[in-house]
A = this chain, B = another copy of it.
Amino acid sequence: MTITQLYYVLAVAENQNFTKAAEKCFVTQPTLSMQIQKLEDQLDVQIFDRSKKPIELTDVGRKIVTQARNIVNESYRIQDIVDQQKGFIGGEFKLGIIPTIMPTLLPMFLKNFIKKHPKVKLKIEELTTEEIITRIKDGHLDAAIAATPLEDESIKERVLYFEPFVSYIPKGHRLHSSKKIDVSDLDINDMLLLEDGHCFRDGVINLCKVFKDQSDETFQLESGSIETLIKLSNEGLGMTLLPYLHTLDINDKEKENLHYFNEPSPAREVSIIYHKSELKMQIIEALQDVISGIIRGAIAFQNVKIISPLPKK
């Protein structure tokens, strides 16, 4: 049994296809076929059920894949230990970011980071919280930036900053007149929210006293971007909540519709999250340093008491 064989098993299990898996591994398909057969012979058990199309894992196969993932990931840690020892910060690093953080945070720190750590090849992907969690677990992401806490046992979190929410209340809305508003004023039934799966929505919902009654809605519209959300709100379809950083680059006319919360302001906790195995920890810490440095000062509410919308256990 070799680490390579286990790696091949993982590739086939993931792609459910020998040919595609072979490409991903940069070897030919017969190589995969033979190596996996050899492993199956040695263990004297079928890992894949080749009669099913597409190929499926057997029951033992599933357990073997879990363990194989373990071993392969742990084997990466050896190079990681060496890198750490040498203070080397480099190599490929896959970072996920949720949509409501991506456009505001990324431009702020990216230039800075690549300047400071030119040897790191950052690969950034916009993903939902749910996608991020699976990808961190299966090793397709090294880390991610998302709203926390997640309360997932195999994922660790390091808080980067707290981002207050700001109400966006268009003219004509019942709350438009009040200068500052309170959390208790919120009513989920006249609020526009981001589409499901975006954690920002989860955060907002938890803020509201009244839960949306899905049975008697006149309309249901969930946008994928905050920009659309603002436009819909302008059309009089309801108020919305914006994360503070988003309010920095909206136009002046729309800025008039911003209503800050009375203290303690509701906020979301934004963290860098990573697998509990702490692989590539040097890069994660480098990211944390750069982002924390940038954010210090960027968020005006530093001294404001905030309440987190997601319950901390």
A→B interface (CB under 8 Å) = 1-4, 6, 43-45, 59-60, 63-64, 67-68, 70-71, 74-75, 77-79, 81-82, 85-86
Does A81 contact B59, Cβ atoms closer than 8 Å? no
Does A74 contact B67, Cβ atoms closer than 8 Å? yes
Does B44 contact A64, Cβ atoms closer than 8 Å? no
- Bound complex: CA A4 to CA B3 (Å): 10
Closest Cβ of chain B: how far from A119's Cβ, in Å?
15
10 shortest interchain CB distances as A-B pairs: A60-B85, A45-B82, A63-B81, A43-B82, A71-B74, A67-B78, A67-B77, A2-B2, A71-B75, A70-B74
Does A1 contact B1, Cβ atoms closer than 8 Å? no
The count of identical subunits is 2
Q: Given the complex, which residues of B lie within 8 Å of A70, measured CB to CB? A: 74
Does A75 contact B43, Cβ atoms closer than 8 Å? no
> Which residue of the partner chain B has the closest CB to A80?
B67
Does A75 contact B44, Cβ atoms closer than 8 Å? no
- Bound complex: CA A85 to CA B44 (Å): 11
Does A43 contact B1, Cβ atoms closer than 8 Å? no
- Bound complex: CA A111 to CA B78 (Å): 45
Given known contacts A2-B3, A60-B81, A64-B82, what 5 new A-B pairs fall within 8 Å (CB)?
A2-B4, A43-B82, A45-B82, A64-B78, A67-B74
Does B3 contact A43, Cβ atoms closer than 8 Å? no
Closest Cβ of chain B: how far from A41's Cβ, in Å?
12
Closest Cβ of chain B: how far from A71's Cβ, in Å?
5
Does A45 contact B86, Cβ atoms closer than 8 Å? yes
Closest Cβ of chain B: how far from A118's Cβ, in Å?
20
